[in-house]
Structure 1
Amino acid sequence: MPDAHRPRSGRRYIGASRLLVPSRMNSPSPTERFSTDRPLEAERPRCVGPILFARGARSDECRLTALLVLGEGDAPPVLRGPRGEAKPARLHQFFGWTAWGYDFALPAEAGASYALGDRAFAVAADMTGDIRVAFASCNGQEAGDGERPLDERNHMWRRLALEHRTRPFSLLIQGGDQLYADEAMFCHPALARWAKASLAEKPDIAFTPEMREAARRWYAERYVKLAAEPAMAEVVARVPSLMMWDDHDIMDGWGSHPPELQTSPVGQGLFAVAREMFMLFQLGIAPDGVSPLAPDPEGLSFTLGAAFPRLRVLLPDLRSERRLTRVMGPAGWRAFERTLASVREGERVLVVSTVPVLGPRLSLVERLMNRMPGTQDYEDDLRDQWQSHAHRVEWRDFLECLERLAVDDGAQVTVLSGEIHLAARGTMPFREGGGDLHQLVASGITHPEPSALYAKALGLLARFGEAPIKGCPIRMRPLPGKRAVYTAERNYLVLERRAERWTAEWELEKSGRSPPLEI
């Protein structure tokens, strides 16, 4: 890890997350109904899944894991595929459920499928030729997500499911905030009191067993409810997913908070709970396990690298070790560098940076907010960005890693990101004839669109330009067919390889499909 990534002393942080602003805490959330001794609800699903996880593919097979959650005591079925049966392995037991995992492979051929009980699921398992990849992020909203009407909430999931029925996807990449855990802070009165407490008070508040179990129940039930929603369930049972978490999967702004919050017993306790459920529902592994795609056997970083025919997907973990003065810690950088070393010459490389790696000059806004009273509540949102003044050296190092892939290994590098609740794209030229880095942003699939004014403000800011690597200016550009740089509509992204040429298209809620962009 470069020395520049070590924490620098002397930084002063005066902001706090919007989640933890007292004015947001005065109204009780609907989620306060949760408690550790609440009886299991009769309407809760006793069977959730399967959720399909990608484990890589070769020219002859596609390797997969299926996650199935059943009521405690229910016998899991055997998974049947063309190459025989796969027996379930117990991954976890929690609050009246048991999670089962099935590791198996499908032949890389048209018409491949697997069956669980009396249900069969077709999978586009042949990734040797033309393929289609979907990318989505920000699957929720900060408050009231569980109370939204499903027809409104999951409109874009239904559209994605319909598209898959007609033109199947081989892979679904989910790029952060698959779960919005903001309301977990209200699942126990003591957690709500901690959230309202001052920074000086937070380190002295204990994370009690009752608080832990209330938080575990909240995360577990929210994940199960999401997985049971029909439109989403149809897709994730048939399209293998690769997922990486971002802040809302833990708590809003995780890693960009002052130490008094992040290292407090409650902060660390909530992180451990979020980590447990993330491993199960987003990685498809036991909470004490290690993903077969992870180069860090110790599990300090969840960075993943997955290989497919002529395609590599790299998912660095930008949250587990994040602090005010760094994005990735020592374990994260070691893991990321191992995934970079695995890339073969000439491969297409999709790098999932949950926070956009190319964007406007947000450091100007960050410095201005430091000096303006009443704006510090939003500083964690700006500190979250690669463009923050606190991360500038590390940001340049990250971009130079991608440049080496393009120049030294002849890789074609594209970055996929979410987080900003807009559709956007940017480019940056590599040096020494390495071509262009494309940044494609698709966010969010269910998060409500922000205001047009917000999108316009970011577009104006993009005019200032940015060049973290000398001679390599970042340019934010409109989507094909658009005039504005940022598009404020819910959306998902479709990547397609056809005859070795890659294109990108955004599916936009109101204006429909964007023209294809060659990348």
Structure 2
Amino acid sequence: MFRGLAERSVRLAALVVRDDDSRPPALTAGGRSHPALRLATVAGHGVWRYDFALPLGTVSDYGLAGRTHRVDTRYEGDLHVGFVSCNGEENGDLDRDADERNAMWQRLRAQHATRPLHVLLHGGDQVYADEATDGHRLSDGWPDELPETAAPADLDDLRLHLRERFLHRYAITYAAPGFAELAAEVPSLMMWDDHDICDGWGSLGDVERTAIGQTLFRTAREAFLLYQHAATDDDVPDLFLDPEGLSLGFRRDLPGLTILAPDLRSERTRARIMGPNGWDRFDAALADLQERVFLVSSVPLLGPRLSLVERLMQLTRRMERYEDDLRDQWQSRAHRAEWARMLRRLIDVEARGHRVTAISGEIHLATRATLDTGRPEPLHQLVASGISHRAPPRLYAMTLGTLARFGEAPIPEHPIRIAPLPGQRHNYTAERNYLTLARKRGTWSARWDLEDSGTTGWLSI
């Protein structure tokens, strides 16, 4: 995990999960030995962290358990950043054929071997935990059929059940071929989305406020801290923008680049995307930015006019089950004012001379969009979604493309336009994919790797 930059070094953390609770061997880096710090014990498994640093501006290595891993920390010149999202599926994900499931991870690993990545951004749904609630009498019917009451002892038992299930999903997902090798060599930054908790969290309504719902959220949050940030609550003030931990947005800086990831889940309700803590800390984080800003919005920031679909859904109860999916989006009519608020913040950042690029996942498609900021160059949004989640039907992509033709402008003088990827005919591409962003001689560009169509051309951003 990427922690940040010191004077002439890069601060990192490495996460290890043991089959038992025994202490793992020390990690070696920079001629020093670094002992492991116990973070938690989950179902008899020890969760440990190493804190260490590598010199900035070179290719260094660290060693653990007889293996050596190389890390490229040459951040000050040309830079190569990867972005992935949606690493799984809602049902039966752990039973899939490993070669099929992880084909795009293997491709990204091969790319890294020839052109090393410096940082890997994970934009949401790092695991699909939807089945974690199965197998316990309190949560088996989540979210539709729950018992009316739950005794404290039963809730404690549910927490133990969920902790074990979350560990199981993270351990198998992280050990997958391609992912495991990249995770050991490329410093990661991760922001969660709904499936890291459960499908649609934050848009489900009253069920989230039940004792069972809160037990699920607290356990998923602990797992997010442990497995996506190698952290516990004690580390929150040092790693996240909100020292209270009500919102888990973060900011990291590299030379010439700010990576800013607001938390769109912890304070979400059906009426809002970010809460008071999230907004206050996000606004404060917009000061003293680097020249380029990557805004990691786990849900796409620029998209088609979903209010039209929401109105149609009111005509038939058969469509009600899709309402939560639409309520999840910035473009939902329930969030229109908040969406405009976020866009205005980014337009203001651009007016101060910074260049913002929004990067998103979530929709299991690849696409891009632009926002007219009133400056010569638009604000770009890049969507790469589905590193292992199989692509939806092409009809779904064509339907979204049709909606995109209506245009969208929550701020009338700043229209949004959806556009095809380089070399593609349609606005949305229904293939598994990941994104790479490159800075070469000070100029940024991006390209997608598509499972069937191959690598796109470079898009200047």
**Normalised TM-score (structure 2):** 0.97
| Counterpart AA for 1:359 | G
Match of 1:189, SS state, is: coil
Residue aligning to 2:297: 353
CA distance in 2, matches of 1:466, 1:393: 14
| Mapped contact 1:142–1:182 kept (Cα < 8 A) | yes
Residue aligning to 2:18: 70
Residue aligning to 2:199: 252
| Counterpart AA for 1:377 | R
1:428-477 CA-to-partner distances (Å, cap 9, x unmatched) read 1113x373110000001000100000000000000000001121110000
Residue aligning to 1:498: 440
CA distance in 2, matches of 1:365, 1:204: 37
1:72-471 correspondence to structure 2 within 5 Å:
72-82=20-30, 84-197=32-145, 204-205=149-150, 208-259=155-206, 261-290=207-236, 292-344=238-290, 347-408=291-352, 410-431=353-374, 433=375, 435-471=377-413
Match of 1:292, SS state, is: helix
| Counterpart AA for 2:96 | R
Mark the runs of 5 or more structure 1 residues left unpaired by the alignment. 1-52
| Mapped contact 1:495–1:503 kept (Cα < 8 A) | yes
Match of 1:455, SS state, is: helix
| Counterpart AA for 1:164 | H
Match of 2:235, SS state, is: coil
Match of 1:290, SS state, is: helix
Match of 1:80, SS state, is: strand
1:226-263 CA-to-partner distances (Å, cap 9, x unmatched) read 1222321001010010000000000100001122x110
1:292 offset after TM fit, Å? 2.8
1:69-107 CA-to-partner distances (Å, cap 9, x unmatched) read 123343322221125232221111111211111111111
Match of 1:325, SS state, is: coil
CA distance in 2, matches of 1:211, 1:58: 42
| Mapped contact 2:86–2:127 kept (Cα < 8 A) | yes
* Alignment CA distance shift 1:511-1:98 (3 Å): same
Match of 1:414, SS state, is: strand
CA distance in 2, matches of 1:356, 1:231: 26
| Counterpart AA for 1:168 | P
Residue aligning to 1:22: none
Match of 2:3, SS state, is: strand
1:385-419 CA-to-partner distances (Å, cap 9, x unmatched) read 000111000000001111111102x1110000000
Residue aligning to 1:32: none
CA distance in 2, matches of 1:354, 1:191: 26
1:115 offset after TM fit, Å? 1.0
Match of 1:406, SS state, is: helix
| Mapped contact 2:138–2:212 kept (Cα < 8 A) | no
Match of 2:326, SS state, is: helix
CA distance in 1, matches of 2:251, 2:387: 24
Mark the runs of 5 or more structure 2 residues left unpaired by the alignment. none
Residue aligning to 1:513: 455
| Counterpart AA for 1:518 | S
1:205 offset after TM fit, Å? 4.6
1:154 offset after TM fit, Å? 0.3
Q: Percent identity?
A: 49
CA distance in 2, matches of 1:373, 1:287: 42
1:182 offset after TM fit, Å? 1.0
CA distance in 1, matches of 2:9, 2:319: 53
| Mapped contact 1:504–1:516 kept (Cα < 8 A) | yes
CA distance in 2, matches of 1:257, 1:465: 28
| Mapped contact 1:59–1:309 kept (Cα < 8 A) | no
CA distance in 2, matches of 1:289, 1:330: 21
CA distance in 1, matches of 2:257, 2:408: 30
CA distance in 2, matches of 1:370, 1:185: 30
Match of 1:468, SS state, is: coil
Match of 2:126, SS state, is: coil
CA distance in 1, matches of 2:237, 2:147: 33
| RMSD (CA atoms) | 1.5
| Mapped contact 1:203–1:265 kept (Cα < 8 A) | no
| Mapped contact 1:255–1:322 kept (Cα < 8 A) | yes
| Mapped contact 2:295–2:359 kept (Cα < 8 A) | yes
CA distance in 1, matches of 2:23, 2:208: 41
Match of 2:229, SS state, is: coil
| Mapped contact 2:23–2:36 kept (Cα < 8 A) | no
CA distance in 2, matches of 1:388, 1:104: 43
1:15-43 CA-to-partner distances (Å, cap 9, x unmatched) read xxxxxxxxxxxxxxxxxxxxxxxxxxxxx
CA distance in 1, matches of 2:270, 2:234: 28
1:119-165 CA-to-partner distances (Å, cap 9, x unmatched) read 11000111011010000000000100010010000000000111111
1:204-232 CA-to-partner distances (Å, cap 9, x unmatched) read 45562222211111111111111222321
Match of 2:185, SS state, is: coil
Aligned residues between the structures = 459
